[in-house]
Amino acid sequence: MTRGGDGTGAVGERPSIPRTREESELEQVEDALLDADVSYRRGTAQAALRHRDFRIVYFGSFASNIGTWMQNVVLGAYAFTLTHSGTYVALLYFGQLGPLLFLSLWGGALADAVDRRRFLVATQIAQGLLSFGLAAVALSPHPSLVLLAALVFAIGIANALGAPGLSAILPTLVEREDLPGAVSLMSTQMNLSRVIGPAVGGILYARFNVSLVFGLNAVTYVFAIVGLLWARYARRAGGPPAEHGLARILSGVRIARGDPFIRHILLTLASFSFLSLAFVGLMPQVAQHALGIDPKSTHYGILYASFGFGAALGAMTVGTVLASVDKVRLLRPGFAAFALLLAGFALSRGPLVGDLAVGALGYAYFVVVTSLSTLLQERVDDKRRGRVMALWIMGFGGTVPLGVLAAGPFSDHFVREVLLVGAAWAVVLAAASGATRLVRARGVEPGWMRDGPG
């Protein structure tokens, strides 16, 4: 998630490390030839893992994300078991990710203005303590639904404020040439945690009290905190802000509006997340009403893990097999495959077919998302990265719970139809993602790339 530096924010440079870039590249080439009898390729996942600071943050966040997905998946199943209400499940899912929609702009502005290390560590500590609170509430035989929702919203708020900073430091952990591999690995890590977390959480939830799962998640935040403290990365974006107050908070919107390529990426992601990804938050209803899987069962964890495993493979494919392919050219076939697979998942009958369909769906989903994320990270410089990545997080995480909240009342009786609407919109996005038009938009150099304010 980060790239080491002294705060100057120059893309592709690592001033906090005394070696020159040429020396660093030579050392990496020598390591590659000594450690494995393979040729060295910049921009791959292998190249990204050769950066010490990236490895530290990567594995620390990996361990923490496993706990997060243990909690996320079990929380939905727990809420459904308590209430048998699709609306309440959707409300809690909105509490987890909904604050991303409203607070990411503030988080992005803070990430570009304050000491990133202190700020990020503080938000991680807050989430850990609140997760302990969630575990305490769940110990009650009759937990307060209001208090449960309040704690979930509080965790979501801390996450929303910190998430843009976590995305902003990613390019400061690797050289610019290795950024595609780093983005691919972070997507892979997030989805492998979706595999491990739900599998472990589902087993623990089926055999023990749900509070154990929430408490274990709270402990895993220690790994993320240690990684953020140990790694070297640019703690500030560099230079005093050219704008202040509300103007600075909204400057990410101005930057995006001034760049047709960034604008297309963000609008595509936001509409995709809102209309096509409701199934992610409605998985308990899909499992019970469409697939005949009890949300309080080990198989439910397997279902969610199948989706995460497919998504991890999709992200890894972008950083390995497809590392040299222009990511623009992956979008149209990726959206088309997603539409077909989501329709297939919606019409699935039985647990086994559902497991296979959702795994393939996850693969197509993260080929698309990883490609979009790589294109955006390559486009933006470090001075503006926090504010622009706040918009990405709003689109990637914030609009999904909004779509889930809108679809929640329909999910008890029309869950298949909700998924088919999402498949239809993915067809529209496939038609709109022509490579020729996007390559032309990418070639336009907006004013902020030349002399715009920071």
Is residue 57 within 8 Å of residue 173, measured between CB atoms? yes
Note the pLDDT of residue 126: 96
The CA distance from 308 to 447, in Å, is 39
For 263-287, write each residue's pLDDT tens digit: 899 999 999 999 998 888 778 777 8
What pLDDT is attached to residue 12? 37
- Round the average pLDDT of the chain to a whole number and report it: 79
| DSSP 8-state class, residue 173 | S
Tokens 């924010």 belong to: 9
Q: Tell me the range of 159-173, 206-220, 309-323 where mean pLDDT is highest.
A: 206-220
pLDDT number for residue 392 = 83
Residue type, 58: Y
pLDDT more than 90, % of the chain: 24
Per-residue pLDDT, averaged over 149-153, amounts to 94
How confident is the model at residue 411, as a pLDDT? 66
What distance in Å separates the CA atoms of residue 419 and residue 279, rounded to the nearest whole number? 6
Residue the block writes with tokens 């088919």:
420
The pLDDT of residue 385 is above 50: yes
pTM over 0.75: no
The yes-or-no verdict on residue 52 having pLDDT over 70 is yes
pLDDT in tens, 341-367: 999 888 888 777 888 888 999 999 989
Looking at domain 43-446, its CATH superfamily turns out to be MFS general substrate transporter like domains (1.20.1250.20)
| pLDDT band at residue 407 under the 50/70/90 scheme | confident
pLDDT of residue 78: 87
Positive or negative, the CA dihedral 210, 212, 216, 218 is: positive
Give, rounded to a whole angstrom, the gap between the first and last alpha carbons of the chain: 21
Determine the pLDDT at residue 412. 67
Confidence (pLDDT) at 148: 93
* 234 phi, psi to nearest 5 deg: -65, 115
Assess whether pLDDT exceeds 80 at residue 401.
no
pLDDT tens for each residue of 117-135: 899 999 999 999 999 999 9
- 135 membership: H or E segment, kind and range: helix 116-138
Residue type, 424: A
Tens digit of pLDDT for each residue in 163-179? 888 877 877 888 877 87
User: What is the total residue count of the chain?
Assistant: 454
Question: Model confidence over 219-237: pLDDT tens digits?
Answer: 999 999 999 999 887 776 6
Rounded to whole angstroms, the Cα distance separating 332 from 277 reads 17
Q: What is the distance between the alpha carbons of residues 24 and 430, in angstroms, rounded to a whole number?
A: 40
Which one has a higher pLDDT value, 366 or 208?
A: 366
